[in-house]
Structure formats: structure tokens, C-alpha cells
Amino acid sequence: MSPLHAHLSPTWRDATSGGDSPVVLLLHGYGSNEDDLPALAPYLPDGVAWASLRAPIDMGWGGASWFPFTFPAEPDQAPIDAVTEAIWEWVGTHVPAGAPLVPLGFSQGGLMALQLLRTRPERVAATVVLSGLITTATQPADARLEASRPPVFWGRGDADSLIWPEAVERLATWLDGHSTLTARVYAGLGHGVSDDEMDDVRAFLADYSR
């Protein structure tokens, strides 16, 4: 798999120079790209460094995908495992070893945010899942997460017609058993992100950005 590309925050160099400041990883949804989620940067805690990664599957018109689109059928686990490792390789190259990560993902990117938590939770300070879902396959750190219960924010709209009910129920069940969960459901919100939701994300991240 080719190395991933990233849009870095203007403060990236200064904010990561100390080696132990948290870094937010922005993981976009299906068909989007690394220039999308930086629009959420004003809602992140002041001064936090962020990197918006571009998914590796080029869709040919400016968009990208983390793994082949099969919804509502279950995606194949092999490409998910491969791109998870690619993200960790990018982190190993570009993020100081002592910097805790805060993966923030939308939709398909939400699944990838959870993949990072489920594979190397020792690197993850907190996780944000927006209109996301979760893979069915057991992951390497799932048993440890049952005991450690790390903080996760899960936001979704009650009018989201893309994430099907079984996927919502599955994610709710997993988060209840593996995280210290902050869950919010937004009335009238479809498959998207609202200002109210991002205000809640900012409040959630305030405890994990110092």
C-alpha cells in the first residue's frame, strides 16, 4: 500500500516539537478527502495539532475510500486490517512517540478511528466517532478494552439513513462493553455533522488535549 498523504495543521511543527502533546487524527468519510475535515478544526481545543489523512483508495474524481464500499453488506476485513497498519506506519513516521493520539473519524473514518483504538489503545487518549460504525471481526485489543474502558465520544443523527439500524445497534453494544461512553443523538440530523455536535466534541476533548 502506498504511503498516506496528510493535510497538517498550521501549528503542526510547533505543537509537536515537544514530543508529548496530543495529536488529533482526522479521518474522512467515503468519497471525501484530506481537505474535508479540517473544516472542523475551529471546534478543536485551542492550539492542538491535527493531521487530516487521505484514504488510500483513489476514486478517480478527487475522492478517496479507506476500504471498498459494500454497505449494507459487511466489508471484507483484510483491506481494513491493511489500511489500519498503513495509518500506524504514518503515525510512526510523523508523530512523536510520546504524543497521545485522538482519532476523530466520520462515517467510514469513524470505523477507522475505532480500528486504531482496537489495535493499539496505549497510543490513544480518546476517540471520536461521528456517524460511524464498527467492523464485526474481533480485534487484537478488544479484551483489554473491556477492562480499561477508554473514553469515546459517539455522535449521530436520528435521521441518518445511511448507517442502518443493525450497525447502530452493534456499535452501541460494543461501546457499552468496551469504553467509557459519551453518546449523543441529534434530532433531525442526517448523515452529517452539526454545530451542536461539534460543540459537544469540543467539550469532550477539553479533558484530553493537554
Q: What are the domain boundaries of the chain?
A: 6-208
> pLDDT digits over 104-120, tens only?
999 999 999 999 999 99
Better-scored residue on pLDDT, 207 or 118: 118
**Given a cut of 60, is residue 137 above it in pLDDT?**
yes
pLDDT over 90 at 13, yes or no: no
pLDDT, mean of residues 49-54: 96
Q: Which residue has the higher pLDDT, 72 or 93?
A: 93
Q: What percent of the chain has pLDDT over 90?
A: 82
Residue 72 confidence (pLDDT) above 80: no
Asked if pLDDT for residue 2 goes beyond 70, the answer is no
The residue with greater pLDDT, 48 or 74, is 48
Q: Region 167-189: what's the mean pLDDT?
A: 97
82: number of Cβ within 10 Å? 12
Q: Provide mean pLDDT across the span 42-52.
A: 93
Q: Strand 151-157 vs strand 127-130: parallel, antiparallel, or unpaired?
A: parallel
Q: Which fold has domain 6-208?
A: Rossmann fold (3.40.50)
30-44 confidence digits (pLDDT tens) = 999 999 999 999 999
Regarding predicted confidence, which is higher, 190 or 18?
190
Spatial neighbors of 9 by CB under 8 A, at least 6 apart, are 15, 38, 41, 48, 49, 50, 51
Residue range 177-200: average pLDDT? Answer: 98
Instruction: Kindly state the average pLDDT of the residues 162-181.
Output: 96
Would the pLDDT of 1 be above 70? no
- pTM value is 0.96
Confidence band for 132, pLDDT divided at 50, 70 and 90? very high
**SS (HEC) of the chain:** CCCCCEEECCCHHHHHCCCCCCEEEEECCCCECCCCHHHHHHHCCCCCEEEEECCCEECCCCCEECCCCCCCCCCCHHHHHHHHHHHHHHHHHHCCCCCCEEEEEECHHHHHHHHHHHHCHHHECCEEEECCCCCCCCCCCHHHHHHHCCEEEEEEECCCCCCCHHHHHHHHHHHHHHCEEEEEEECCCCCCCCHHHHHHHHHHHHHHCC
